[in-house]
Amino acid sequence: MQLFVGLGNPGGKYAGNRHNIGFMALDRIASDHGFGPWRARFQGEVAEGRLGSQKVLLLKPTTFMNNSGQSVGEAMRFWKLGPQDITVFHDELDLAPGKCRVKQGGGHAGHNGLRSIHAHVSPEYQRIRLGIGHPGHKDRVAPFVLSDFAKADQDWLDDLLRGLSDGAPELASGEAAKFLNAVALRVNPPRSGGGTDNRTQKKPAKAPKPDATPPKATTPAPAAAKPIDTAQSAEAAETTDARSPLERLRDRFR
């Protein structure tokens, strides 16, 4: 049997807090996989069910975060389990929001819930580290983790919780890589094949810029001179001459 533990604080006041993402993960798994009702047991709330071929006990300690190890230790001893049978879902400041990592054993990194489990069980249990981001300064950590997720967080949070639930059967079977792959398919879905990749799309050709140099003015060619009709000119001259024929003959031989 496997013991899945979600860390958080009990009561409606804390239900939407970042610190309670472990509770949220177990609630989603229980709902999606048809677990039995939550019952008060082992200083916490317990639901029993199956993930794949594995019998799994879900535990949400109600001791408040700093004493989570009391509940986990009691359940472990009752079911005669070892640290290798325990998986703890908890919030992780050192991971970006929506990121998920699996870690076997190691330190508690200042997380008070993990610190308590170390003291009552041992460090050799598996952790599912669920990224919530960091507020930027250690003095803001406590109010940050005890504040509700923002509206802007809801999309990635829902994707992460769905991914955890999708991969839960693989996690219960010891297939950590397959579990993480199931989470990644929800958090980072593959690109649709029908989409357009903007990186390879050709840009439309730009219209040529107008020439800034104004066109040169052209001087029109002079009109060709018309040929002079000498006969017509002579006739016109005779028409305007008022002299008599005798006078013209006389003037011609002068």
Query: Residues annotated in the binding site for tRNA, as ranges?
Result: 14, 64, 66, 112
CA 79 – CA 81 distance, rounded (Å): 5
- Rounded to 5 degrees, φ, ψ at 142 are -60, -50
Contact 179, 160 (CB under 8 A): no
Catalytic residue among 19, 33, 90, 111: 19
Quote the crossing angle between the two packed helices 154-172 and 176-187, to the nearest 10°. 160
Is residue 33 among the annotated active site residues?
no
Q: Is 100 exposed, middle or buried (0-12, 13-18, 19+ CB in 10 A)?
A: buried
* Side-chain-side CA neighbours of residue 57 (13 Å): 22
Contact 192, 172 (CB under 8 A): no
Query: What amino acid positions are annotated as catalytic residues?
Result: 19
